[in-house]
């Protein structure tokens, strides 16, 4: 279902929108099952290597990766995230009609899946893992794209795979700050964050979202996420989209997922494009700030 006119207006007024109950179990379950299978495979491999003494097979999806990480003391999260994970169920989810229908409401019928996607199993703080998946300090997504995309409306869709709350590390958003310039960002241990002197004043809004909801964020809206103070993993995906005819600002393989008069990118071509990109030694500038 498309967004209503009032939802579209609200998005443009506030710089974000929580679209409620867009995704059904049949959209999310195949993806969650594949993440579980992938964690099985990773667990089996590091068990064989002797890094863990248990496979933690009985642990539910919301706990298992945390238990494995706590046992190894090493982050395995990037192995489940894009672009290490280019598995078919993720590709299929990037074509989910329920998701693309709401994206189309904002960017039009020619939709490009920008290669800036992440899968984030945000672990309980108590596990003590301190990396870019666990911490998301305040930033604008447009700032991590190259300036060629500054005039492109790049939408982030934030997709929780479990209910996301203030306690388990949902997003915090500064509304109505998306109409100004891209703020200066500086490198921090977790990626990029808005420089102190350009940081929004005041407090952000904490935005809970249930499994099935999608939070849509304008590329210039400052946002981040709060700590996960529970004992379970806050699984989510953040995916970026724009009008396929406009520049996306990330010189890595994206793909055409919806269009009116051309063929969309096939799975095999997407995989090949990533193989080619990985094999290409030409230096690529990915961030404008360095």
Ligand X SMILES: O=C(O)CCC(=O)C(=O)O
Q: How many residues bind ligand X (CB under 6 A)?
A: 11
Q: In the complex, what is the shortest distance from the CB of residue 251 to ligand X, in angstroms, rounded to a whole number?
A: 19
Question: For residues 10 and 81, which CB has a smaller minimum distance to ligand X in the complex?
Answer: 81
Q: Which of 156, 168, 221, 265 binds ligand X (CB under 6 A)?
A: 156
CB of 201 to ligand X, least distance (A): 20
Question: Quick one: which H or E segment has residue 194?
Answer: strand 191-194
236 touches ligand X by CB under 6 A:
yes
Told to check if 228 binds ligand X by CB under 6 A, we report no
Q: Which of 87, 120, 218, 220 binds ligand X (CB under 6 A)?
A: 120
Q: Does 223 bind ligand X (CB under 6 A)?
A: yes
Stretch that binds ligand X, among 5-13, 22-30, 49-57, 221-229 (CB under 6 A): 221-229
Question: Within positions 135 to 154, which residues make up the interface with ligand X, using CB under 6 A?
Answer: 136, 141
* Nearest-angstrom CA–CA distance, 249 and 256: 15
Q: Which is nearer to ligand X, 7 or 236 (CB)?
A: 236
Nearest distance from residue 12's CB to ligand X, in Å? Answer: 19
């Amino acid at each position: 279902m498309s967004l209503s006119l009032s939802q579209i207006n609200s998005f443009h007024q506030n710089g974000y929108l929580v679209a409620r109950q867009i995704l059904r179990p049949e959209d999310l379950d195949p993806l969650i099952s594949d993440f579980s299978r992938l964690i099985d495979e990773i667990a089996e491999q590091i068990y064989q290597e002797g890094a863990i003494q248990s496979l933690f097979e009985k642990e539910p999806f919301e706990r298992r990766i945390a238990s494995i990480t706590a046992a190894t003391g090493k982050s395995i999260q990037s192995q489940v995230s894009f672009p290490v994970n280019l598995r078919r169920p993720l590709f299929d989810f990037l074509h989910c009609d329920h998701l693309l229908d709401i994206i189309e409401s904002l960017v039009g019928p020619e939709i490009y899946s920008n290669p800036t996607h992440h899968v984030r199993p945000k672990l309980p703080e108590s596990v003590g893992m301190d990396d870019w998946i666990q911490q998301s300090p305040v930033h604008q997504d447009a700032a991590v794209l190259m300036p060629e995309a500054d005039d492109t409306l790049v939408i982030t869709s934030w997709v929780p795979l479990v209910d996301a709350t203030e306690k388990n590390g949902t997003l915090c958003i500064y509304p109505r700050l998306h109409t100004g310039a891209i703020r200066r960002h500086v490198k921090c241990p977790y990626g990029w964050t808005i420089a102190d002197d350009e940081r929004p004043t005041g407090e952000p809004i904490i935005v809970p979202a249930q499994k099935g909801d999608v939070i849509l964020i304008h590329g210039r809206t400052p946002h981040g996420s709060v700590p996960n103070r529970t004992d379970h993993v806050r699984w989510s995906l953040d995916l970026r989209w724009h009008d396929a005819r406009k520049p996306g600002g990330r010189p890595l393989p994206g793909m055409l997922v919806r269009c009116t008069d051309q063929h969309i990118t096939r799975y095999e071509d997407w995989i090949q494009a990533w193989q080619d990109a990985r094999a290409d030694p030409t230096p690529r500038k990915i961030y404008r700030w360095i």
